[in-house]
Structure 1
Amino acid sequence: MAEVPKPEEELVQDADFPKPEDEGLQDSSSTDKEFPPPMAQSEINERIKELAIKHGVNHRKLMWKIDICVVPLACLLYVLAFLDRVNVSNANVYGMSEDLGMTGMKFNTALAIFFVPYVLAEIPSNWLMKKFKPHIWLTATMTLFGCVLLGQGFVRTYGQLLATRFLLGLFEAGMFPGCFYLLSMWYRREEAQKRYSFFFSSTTLAGAFGGLIAAGIHNLDYHRGIRSWQWIFIIEGACTATIGILMIFCLADFPEEARFLKQNERDFIREKLEIGSTSGSEYDRKMSMRDMAFVFSDWKVWMSGLMYFGYIVPAYGYAYFGTAIVKGLGYSPVMTQLYSVPPWVAGFGFSMVSATFSDYFRHRFAFSFFAGIVGIAGFGLLMGQTEHIGIRYGSLFMICAGTYTAMPILVCWTQMNFSGHHRKAIASGWQIGFGNTAGFISTFIFDAKEAPIYRTALDVCLAFSAFSTVLLIVYLIAIWFDNRYKKTEQYREKFRSWPKEKQELAGELHPSIFYSY
C-alpha cells in the first residue's frame, strides 16, 4: 500500500475543519497560548519532515516498511477469524443440519451462541492485549480458536456443536478489536482509512475464499468416513492453528516496542503520532476503573456503538445466510458455493475504491453515507423482486458492497475521533463489543420457514441499515456543534476546572483538538 503523503493518532485540525475565522467565532481567546490554535496540515507535514531529518529516517520508506509488517498480518489474523466463524453457513449447504438433526431454529441457536462470550470478552480483551503484548495475546487466541474449529469437524451431536461454537466465540473475542486497536496506534488519522478499509474488508475476502474452499472440498465427501461439511472445519481449523503458532515470531507490537524497527525509527513514529497531541502516548500508564468511567461519560462512545450495531445486523445476516439466499435461486450445492464468491469480491473492490477517495479528500461522512444508501437499495431490490433471479442475485452485490464499505469507514471515522492509548482501547472495545450484540438479531431473523424469500429478515436488515445511516447524519451534526463549542471561552473554562489527571487523559476533549468529518 502506498504511503499517504499527508500524515493519525491524535486529532488535529486540517482541511476537513473550518477555521475559527470562517465560523465567525474568532475572539481574543483564540490566540491564548494555553490553548494554541489547531495546526494546519502544511505545518504538520513540515514537522514530520523535520522529525525525519532529526532521527535520520526516510519517512516514505519507513511507512512502506510498517505497511508491509503490520497491516497484512493483521488482515490475515482477521481473515482467518471471520472465515472460521461464518464457514458454518458453507457447511450447512452440505447437509450439516440434516446430519446433526437440527430442525426449527436449532441452526440459528448454534449461530447465536457464538455471540454470548464474543460480546462479553471484547472490552477486557484490549486491556489484556496491552498487558501481554499483541504478538503474544493475538497469536495465542488465534491458535486456540483454530484448535476449537478443528475439533468442531468431529462433532457428532447438536450439543457438541453448541459447545464448540461457544468456545469459538470466547477465543475470537479479542481478534477484531485487538487488531483494530493495534492499527490505530500506528497511523495518524489522515493515513488511516485505506489501511483500516483493507483490514476491515478482508472479511469480504474471507467470504470469497470460504465459498471457493467449500466448493473444492465437496469432492472429499465421505473420504475416510468424514462428510464434506466436516472437512471444511478440519482443514480451515488446522490451517488457522498452524498459522497462529508461526505468527508469534512475526506479528508486530505497539510502536513503542516494535521488534522490526530500529530505536531511531521507534522514536520517530512516537513523536510523529504526538504531533498536535496534548499529552504523551500514555503507553506506560496503567489503566484504571476511573479511566474507563471517564471514557464512558462521553456521548461519542455510545453513539459509535449504536451506529455499528445497526450495520452489524445486515452484515452478519448476509455473512451467515447469503449462501442460503443464493441456494434459494435454484443452484446446486457446489454452484451455490461458487456463486456466493462474486458479491464478496465486489464488496472488497468497492470498499477499497471508497477508502482511497476518502483518504484523498480526508473526509469520511459522505463516503459512509453513500455506501449505506447502496446497501439499503440492495435490500429494497431483493425484497421487491421475488421472481427475477438476475435482479435478486445482482442485489446481493449491492448489499455486500454497501454494507461492508459503510462499516469500515464508520469505524475508522469514529475511532479516529478518539485519541490516546486508553480512550482508543476502551472506545474500540466497546464499539465492537456492543455492536456485535446485534449478531443475536441477525441469527434469529432468518427463519427457514420463510426460505427462500426471507421477507421478515430482509425487512429487519433494511430497517437497521436505515437506522445507522440516519445516525451518521446525527453524529455529523453533533460533532460539528462540538467543534464550535470547543472554540468558546465557556468550554475552555470548563476544561480548566477539571482535575489535572483528567486533563492529561482528555485526549480529543482538549480545547485545541477538533473532530474530523
Structure 2
Amino acid sequence: MDLQVDPQIIPQMDEFPPPPSQEEINDRIKQLAIKHNVNHRKLMLKIDICVVPLTCLLYVLAFLDRVNVSNANVYGMSEDLNMTGNKFNTALAIFFVPYVIAEIPSNWLMKKFKPHVWLTGCMTLFGVCLLGQGFVRTYGQLLATRFLLGLFEAGMFPGCFYLLSMWYRREEAQKRYSFFFSSTTLAGAFGGLIAAGIHNLDHDRGIRSWQWIFIIEGACTATIGILMIFCLADFPEEARFLKQNERDFIKEKLEIGNAGVSEYERSMTRKDLAFVFSDWKVWISGLLYFGYIVPAYGYAYFGTAIVKGLGYSPVMTQLYSVPPWVAGFGFSMVSAAFSDHFRHRFAFAFFAGIVAVAGFGLLMGQTKHIGIRYGSLFMICAGTYTAMPILVCWTQMNFSGHHRKAIASGWQIGFGNTAGFISTFIFEANEAPTYPTALDVCLAFTAFSTVLLAVYFAAIWADNRYKRTEKYRQKFRSWPKEKQQLAGELHPSIFYSY
C-alpha cells in the first residue's frame, strides 16, 4: 500500500533538505572563508599544529604510563614484590575499575572546566602517581598506585577524542583520529626503547631498573602536564589561539549539513543522558570497541612477554618489542590516508580486522617457528591498532552535537575498556610462553567485532533509507521542540557516513 501524505504536510517538506554533496560542501566552505576573511588552508594547518600534536602527546604519555608495567615486569618487578599466581594480572586489572567508572563523568567535567584545565590537571596527577609507583615496596602499594593511575587517566582518551571531534568535519577527521590513536603504537615503541636504555641504571642509588622506568617516565609526565596548561587548545567556541573571525568561521563550517541548535552553552541533564542512550548506535559502538579492546590490551600488556618467550634476553626483548608497534603505526596511517581519500570507513576497518584475525591464527597454529611467531605479532598489532581508530572515528563522527558526542564517546570508551578485565586475566603465567587460552579468547573477540562492523554498516544503511521516508519525518515532527533541536544526527536531514 502506498504511503498516504497529508496535504498539509507537503509545504513543510523543504524543512528537511537532502544532505549536500561534497562539492556543495566545498563551495559553502569557500563562501564562508570569503565571508569571514580567512584562508581556509592556512587556518586548518594552524588548527592541526595547535590541536593534534598536543592531544597526541597527552595520550602517548597516558598510554605509556599505563602499559610500562609490562616492561617493568621483564626486569624483575614480580620477583621483587613477591607476586605469584595471578597477582600480576590483578595489578593490571585494578587499573580498569576507576578507569571505566569515571569516563562519562570526566567528559562532563571537561566541558565544565575546559579541556586545557581538566586534561592537563589529570595528566599531572597521573604523572605524580606513576612517579610514586617507582617507590613501592609491597604488592599492596602497587595495587594502590595502579588504582589511582586508572582514576586520573580515565578522562584522557574519551576527552581527547571528544575534543578532536569538535574541531573537524567527518571528511577531515580520519587522518587526525588515526594519528592520535596511533600514538598508542608509538608509546609501545618508545616504551621498549626507554626500557632498554634504563637497563644500565639497575641498582643505581639502590633503585632497581624496573623502578627507574616508573620514576623517570612519571617525572616527565608530571612536568609536561604542568607546562601544557598554557598551550593545550579548548573547544573552537573559546580557543585562545584563534581570532574571533576564525572562531565564527569554524563554527559555521562545522554546522554545514547539520541541523538543530548549538548545545555548547547549555548544561547537560539526566534527560539528555536518557535521550542519548535510547539510540541503538550508542550501544553498538560500545560493543564494537569492547571486542577490539581485548586483543589490544592483551598485546599491550603481554606482547613483551610473548617476545621474551621467543628466547631473547631482557634487553633484546625490549628492543624486539619495538618493530611491531612501528609497523602498526605505519599501517594505521596509510589506511587512514586512503580512508579519508575515498571518504569511506567500513572496508578499511573490516580489512584491518581480518589482518588481526589472521595474525592470531598464525600465532596459535605455529608454536615452534620463531620467525613466524614473531611475524604474526606485526599482523596482530597492525590489524588491531588500525581497526580501532577507524571504527571509533566512524562511530563518533556519526554522532552530532556537544552532548551526544560527549556522552557517546564516554560510553563507548568506558564500556569498551571493561574488556580490560578480560585482557588482564586470560594470560595465565602457567600457560607461558604460548598462552593458548588467551590467544583463543583474543581471536574470538577480534572476529566478533569484525563481524559486528558489517552489522553496523548494514544497520546505518537501512537507517539512511528510513530517514528518506515521510514516515520518519512525521515521527520527527511529533517530537517536542526541545527534543528536535537536540536530535543531532537523528534529524531527517543528517545521514550516516559509511
Quick one: distance in 1 between partners of 2:358 and 2:195?
A: 29
Quick one: distance in 2 between partners of 1:471 and 1:30?
A: 40
Residue 74, structure 1, aligned to residue 55, structure 2: yes
Residue 221, structure 1, aligned to residue 202, structure 2: yes
For 1:363, the aligned partner's letter is H
Q: Contact (CA 8 Å) 1:30, 1:36: kept in 2 or not?
A: no
Quick one: distance in 2 between partners of 1:346 and 1:31?
A: 53
Name 1:183's counterpart in structure 2.
164
Q: Contact (CA 8 Å) 1:346, 1:401: kept in 2 or not?
A: yes
Quick one: distance in 1 between partners of 2:493 and 2:304?
A: 49
Name 1:33's counterpart in structure 2.
14
Q: Contact (CA 8 Å) 1:30, 1:37: kept in 2 or not?
A: no
Q: Contact (CA 8 Å) 2:261, 2:486: kept in 1 or not?
A: no
For 2:124, the aligned partner's letter is T
1:105 to 65, 71, 86: 86
Deviation per residue, 1:15-52 (Å, 9 max, x gap): xxxxxxxxxxxxx9699212111111111111100110
Q: Contact (CA 8 Å) 1:30, 1:487: kept in 2 or not?
A: no
Residue 272, structure 1, aligned to residue 253, structure 2: yes
Give how far 1:104 is off.
0.2
Name 1:408's counterpart in structure 2.
389
Quick one: distance in 1 between partners of 2:218 and 2:280?
A: 40
Deviation per residue, 1:178-203 (Å, 9 max, x gap): 00000000000000000000000000
Residue 423, structure 1, aligned to residue 414, structure 2: no
Deviation per residue, 1:311-334 (Å, 9 max, x gap): 000000000000000000000000
Change in Cα spacing, 1:291 to 1:70, as seen in structure 2 (3 Å) is same
Give how far 1:281 is off.
2.5
Quick one: distance in 1 between partners of 2:276 and 2:426?
A: 33
Structure 1 residues 58-137: aligned runs within 5 Å: 58-137=39-118
Quick one: distance in 2 between partners of 1:31 and 1:263?
A: 35
Q: Contact (CA 8 Å) 1:78, 1:175: kept in 2 or not?
A: yes
Residue 321, structure 1, aligned to residue 302, structure 2: yes
Quick one: distance in 2 between partners of 1:273 and 1:163?
A: 43
Quick one: distance in 1 between partners of 2:126 and 2:177?
A: 24
Deviation per residue, 1:145-186 (Å, 9 max, x gap): 000000000000000000000000000000000000000000
Name 1:312's counterpart in structure 2.
293
Q: Contact (CA 8 Å) 1:112, 1:440: kept in 2 or not?
A: yes
Give how far 1:266 is off.
0.5
Name 1:16's counterpart in structure 2.
none
Deviation per residue, 1:317-376 (Å, 9 max, x gap): 000000000000000000000000000000000000000000000000000000000000
For 1:443, the aligned partner's letter is T
For 2:447, the aligned partner's letter is A
For 2:113, the aligned partner's letter is F
2:241 to 248, 252, 260: 260
CA-based RMSD: 0.9
Q: Contact (CA 8 Å) 1:148, 1:237: kept in 2 or not?
A: yes
Q: Contact (CA 8 Å) 2:260, 2:484: kept in 1 or not?
A: no
Name 1:239's counterpart in structure 2.
220
For 1:58, the aligned partner's letter is N
1:291 to 272, 282, 287: 272
Quick one: distance in 1 between partners of 2:114 and 2:11?
A: 41
Name 1:510's counterpart in structure 2.
491
For 1:198, the aligned partner's letter is F
For 2:496, the aligned partner's letter is Y
For 2:73, the aligned partner's letter is N
Give how far 1:279 is off.
2.1
Quick one: distance in 2 between partners of 1:233 and 1:368?
A: 34
Q: Contact (CA 8 Å) 1:29, 1:489: kept in 2 or not?
A: no
Give how far 1:276 is off.
1.3
Name 1:4's counterpart in structure 2.
none
Quick one: distance in 1 between partners of 2:11 and 2:178?
A: 36
Query: TM-score, normalization: structure 2?
Result: 0.98
For 1:75, the aligned partner's letter is C
Deviation per residue, 1:193-235 (Å, 9 max, x gap): 0000000000000000000000000000000000000000000
Change in Cα spacing, 1:55 to 1:116, as seen in structure 2 (3 Å) is same
Residue 300, structure 1, aligned to residue 273, structure 2: no
For 2:211, the aligned partner's letter is Q
Please give the secondary structure, in 1, of the residue aligned with 2:463: helix
Give how far 1:265 is off.
0.5
Residue 397, structure 1, aligned to residue 378, structure 2: yes
Name 1:251's counterpart in structure 2.
232
Name 1:170's counterpart in structure 2.
151
Name 1:492's counterpart in structure 2.
473
For 1:248, the aligned partner's letter is I
Q: Contact (CA 8 Å) 2:276, 2:404: kept in 1 or not?
A: yes
Name 1:444's counterpart in structure 2.
425
Please give the secondary structure, in 1, of the residue aligned with 2:161: helix
| Percentage identity across paired residues of the two chains | 89
For 1:441, the aligned partner's letter is I
Please give the secondary structure, in 2, of the residue aligned with 1:212: helix
Q: How many residues get paired? A: 490
Quick one: distance in 2 between partners of 1:33 and 1:446?
A: 58
Quick one: distance in 2 between partners of 1:41 and 1:359?
A: 13
Q: Contact (CA 8 Å) 2:308, 2:314: kept in 1 or not?
A: yes
Please give the secondary structure, in 2, of the residue aligned with 1:464: helix
Quick one: distance in 2 between partners of 1:192 and 1:41?
A: 15
Quick one: distance in 2 between partners of 1:277 and 1:364?
A: 20
Name 1:143's counterpart in structure 2.
124
Quick one: distance in 2 between partners of 1:52 and 1:478?
A: 36
Quick one: distance in 2 between partners of 1:165 and 1:288?
A: 32
Query: TM-score, normalization: structure 1?
Result: 0.94
